[in-house]
Amino acid sequence: MSLTNATPEDAAIAAKSASHVLATLPASARNDALTAIHAALTDAKDEILAANARDLELARKAAADGQLKDSLVSRLDLGKKGKWEDMLKGILDVRGLEDPVGKVTLRTKLDDGLELERVTAPIGVLLIIFEARPEVIANIASLAIKSGNAAILKGGKESTESFVAISRTISSALEKTRVPNGAIQLVTTRDVIPQLLALDRHIDLVIPRGSNELVRYIKSNTKIPVLGHADGICAAYLEESADPKIAADVILDSKTSYPAACNALETLLVQEAALYAAFPAVARALLAAGVELRCDGRSKGVFKTLNLLDGASSGSVKDAEDVDYDTEHLSLVLAVKTVRDLEEAIYHINTHGSHHTDVILTSSKEQAEQFMSGVDSAGVYWNASTRFADGMRYGFGTEVGISTNKIHARGPVGLEGLMIYKYKIRGAGHKTSDYGEGEGQKRYKHESLPL
């Protein structure tokens, strides 16, 4: 691991070269490196927390001057209850995952003595750009080493001291392992993100770990594939046959269990036939939880007709503007819109949503299956909270990010998302000119073989 002031291009070339060695190491060598990192970080706790304290002091001053958000200061704090222990446990968790490298996913006998095999292989060089959270370094370095990928890490300036301290520790730990020196490159030079994003010849995948603004900036400024999502505009469709209790439970959890999460609910589409069926129970639950509802005329009318509002809640039901249906509020605000039927709901979600996670509340299996087939999103749910969209909850053991891409990996991405494959053929002097439709020519056998 090298802490480098080299140019971004030199760092990328070194990472690519190291990736070719790393890709050939056995699982035991990659796991041993994780053990070494874990031990070294455990030993260096005091030193790292002292560096983190220096970052925190500067950040608190900046926050007091109004130059930094308080939430960012909080994310920076490695001393916060459980954070350090979680970081260390995370390394061992990753070590314990199944080895993703070298899995055979296809075997075909092309002809006697000529076998085709498809084997999983690391992608190559990952570029990780993150903001405040210094624990991301340990997490991402672990994921990269486990999956046989080299990584270039570029942190935010607020976490520089923590970043350097953790990096030095990881670096010296790796020196005694078989993981090559250049496999993890730490770029501490400032203002080099545009240069890094231009290195599509050497970098194979960018993983941004930070705010929506960061992701959006990166997606708009590179040709390298980006794994992640800029927006999470998740919608629920409340169909007329929805069970009111199920609907209220699911919608409340989706909206309120962590409003700042990308998988939190932002839009509620109410079938007109559900306005006086399940909707009132849902609306009551949301208002009781302090959610502000931005309604279209028809859904707003329900509150008046049914006399649902008291003094406390009357200010919480407002008129929606068009922009509310295209906004990730990330707070206790929910846009509500009346739609005629399933078709209109699907159309709304496919055009206004962000293809992240959307849910239908219904008792009709047919409506549910049509919704899940027609909505073009990474997650399509029936009577379950949008907040299940998460790698740990899906059982992947880790989460690299949640992708709204249409190729490679979609939805919560585990280690599998850091892999590609290669085809191996083992022959005995076979040549293509022997095969064909003509007389005397050989035919391919194309027999599928057990994995």
421 touching a second copy, by CB under 8 A:
yes
Q: What mask, x for binding a second copy by CB under 8 A, covers residues 21 to 40?
A: --xx----------------
Binding a second copy by CB under 8 A: which of 66, 81, 85, 407?
A: 407
Q: Which of 164, 167, 178 is CA-nearest to residue 141?
A: 167
Please report, for residues 241, 268, 344, the alpha-carbon distance to residue 272 in angstroms, rounded to integers and kept in the order given.
12, 12, 11
Site for a second copy in 50-69 (CB under 8 A): none
Longest dimension (CA), the chain: 91
Site for a second copy in 244-273 (CB under 8 A): 245-246, 249-250, 252-253, 257
Q: What mask, x for binding a second copy by CB under 8 A, covers residues 375 to 404?
A: -xxxxxxxxxx-xxx---xxx---------
Distance CA 279, CA 277 (A): 6
Site for a second copy in 104-123 (CB under 8 A): 108, 110, 114, 116, 121, 123
Q: How many CA atoms lie within 13 A of 308 on its CB side?
A: 23
Residue 343 burial (CB count, 10 A): 11
Site for a second copy in 153-172 (CB under 8 A): none
430 touching a second copy, by CB under 8 A:
yes
307 touching a second copy, by CB under 8 A:
no
**Which of 180-214 are b and which e, b meaning 16 or more Cβ less than 10 Å from the residue's Cβ?**
bebbbbbbbeeeebeebbbbeebbbbbbbbbebeb
For a second copy, how many residues bind (rule: CB under 8 A)?
Answer: 74
Please report, for residues 207, 243, 307, 381, the alpha-carbon distance to residue 416 in angstroms, rounded to integers and kept in the order given.
14, 37, 52, 22
Binding a second copy by CB under 8 A: which of 425, 441, 442, 449?
A: 425
Angle between helix 160-175 and 27-43 (nearest 10): 130
Instruction: Give the range of 164-172, 295-303, 328-336, 415-423 binding a second copy by CB under 8 A.
Output: 415-423
Nearest approach in angstroms of CB 280 to a second copy is 17
Nearest approach in angstroms of CB 278 to a second copy is 12
Instruction: Give the range of 74-82, 86-94, 176-184, 425-433 binding a second copy by CB under 8 A.
Output: 425-433
Distance CA 382, CA 131 (A): 35
Task: Give the single-character DSSP code of 417.
Answer: G
Nearest approach in angstroms of CB 270 to a second copy is 18
Structural Rg of the chain based on CA atoms:
26
202 touching a second copy, by CB under 8 A:
no
Site for a second copy in 217-236 (CB under 8 A): 222-223, 225
